[in-house]
Amino acid sequence: MRQSTPRTCLMRTCGRRKMSVVTNLVLHLPIQPENDTRLIDAINEFFSQDGITGLVSVDDPRLPRRWYGGSKALECDLFVGAFNHLSLDDFLVHLADAIAHHPWDWRDEPDSIQVFVKEQEDDTFRIIDATELLSMIR
């Protein structure tokens, strides 16, 4: 029986050394009703099947309160993660599908969903918005 390859934790080998290829993600979602984690839970299902912690809110209770800089609390929903050997295309399709099937109507605010992506060799982040994401599943 052939084993499936995990989509996020594969290690490339070069001789005997394992090389990592990290993808940094920052996800901005419109502010959801308090304690409504359905959308981020659906997004993080992509990672859970490989036993990997998915994207984590910058306001996660496991983190120190307001651990980031500034004199105020952030007034946006941001989720962050760094993933080794992430299949970015597969993740973006999964993300688009989660957005398309979420009961909240994002179409009123199409720019309110953004993914900031910085892959291993990139010098800058690129921004992908909901409109671009949804074009991947049409």
Q: Are 126 and 133 within 8 A, CB to CB? A: no
- CA-closest candidate to residue 55, choices 34, 96, 27, 29: 27
Phi and psi, residue 102, nearest 5°: -80, 140
Alpha-carbon dihedral angle through residues 80, 33, 131, 42, given to the nearest 10 degrees: 60
Amino acid at 52: I
Pick the CATH number of 23-61+74-135 from 1.10.3470, 3.30.70, 3.50.4, 2.60.40: 3.30.70
Q: Are 106 and 112 within 8 A, CB to CB? A: yes
pLDDT of residue 24: 98
Amino acid at 78: L
pLDDT of residue 68: 85
Mean pLDDT of the chain: 83
Residue 68 in tokens: 């980031």
**pLDDT tens-place string over residues 24-82:** 999 999 877 777 889 999 999 999 988 899 999 998 888 888 788 888 888 889 999 99
Tell me, yes or no, if the pTM score tops 0.95: no
pLDDT of residue 9: 44
